[in-house]
Amino acid sequence: MALFTTILALTTNAFAIDQVVLKNGDVIEGKILSDVPNRHVDIQLVNGNKKRYQQTDVASVERDVPSNVDSHMSGSTSEFYFGPQLGLSIPLKSGDTTDFVWGARLGFNSAQLGDFAKLAFGLTFTHDQNTQDVSGISITGTSNIVLAQMLFRKVGNTGFYFGPELGFTFGLLTAVGSTASITGSIFTFGLDLGYDYYINSGFSFGPSLNYMHATGGTLTSSTGSTMQSTSSDGILILLNGTFHL
């Protein structure tokens, strides 16, 4: 943890970007793609969009300078994000069903890791109704999954993000005509990979692919009998709409 904190502090303080200063006083921050004398300057903004400015409109071009303008690129500021999720849950175990899922995510970008990415921490919640096979018994019910995430977002100043996630699965199940509940939440972990396409600096949408593994847990029915569930693996394919503050 001490090493992790030190890395965050160093990368935050060392963060620098490129700037195009226009003759009208505007300062454009991002990553310089090309600087063609007497013609134009191409720059990629943090949201992935590319801009071209004619040299006749450019006062100066600065590389690797501290960011003072664009809060999305500044390592000293945080950016909160939140939004809904819709998609499918695809089990990797035979006997379980593919189901429609919905949920939400929220988090914040906490630090700029040089020119590489923003480090973000967040939470996701997904809900689905499913049928699964537990010890040869068909069980239907609802599952709720809460996961904490550590994500590398805007990788290489693009909309890509990836990172690990871990949390718990809980819910109510129906087996053989009786209600069964999970005794203790089932520990769950996985990996999130996705892309945000920015409509503007305040809103983006895009797909994500989540792999999740849930460890076994004990199910207790209303009649007092217990059933041991088995571990499960699944893929979530989600479409995310995200607001950035």
Q: Are residues 139 and 207 in the same domain?
A: yes
Q: Are residues 168 and 217 in the same domain?
A: yes
Q: What is the pLDDT of residues 158-209, one digit of tens each?
A: 889 999 999 988 766 655 555 555 544 678 899 999 999 988 778 899 999 9
- The answer, as to whether pTM is greater than 0.75, is no
Angle made by CA atoms 29, 8, 73, in degrees to the nearest 5: 15
Nearest alpha carbon to residue 160 among 109, 196, 107, 201: 196
CATH number at residue 141: 2.40.160.20
Q: Would residue 103 count as lying in a domain?
A: yes
Angstrom distance (rounded) from CA 211 to CA 51: 35
Nearest alpha carbon to residue 56 among 42, 43, 37: 37
Residue 5 has pLDDT above 90, yes or no: no
| Of 97 and 117, the one with more pLDDT | 117
Contacts of 21 (CB under 8 A, 6+ apart): 27, 28, 58, 59, 60, 61, 62
User: What's residue 178's pLDDT?
Assistant: 54
Angle made by CA atoms 52, 53, 57, in degrees to the nearest 5: 175
Q: What is the mean pLDDT of residues 103-120?
A: 86
Q: How many domains does the chain have?
A: 2
The domain in which residue 118 lies consists of 79-244
Q: What is the mean pLDDT of residues 27-52?
A: 86
Residue 75 has pLDDT above 70, yes or no: no
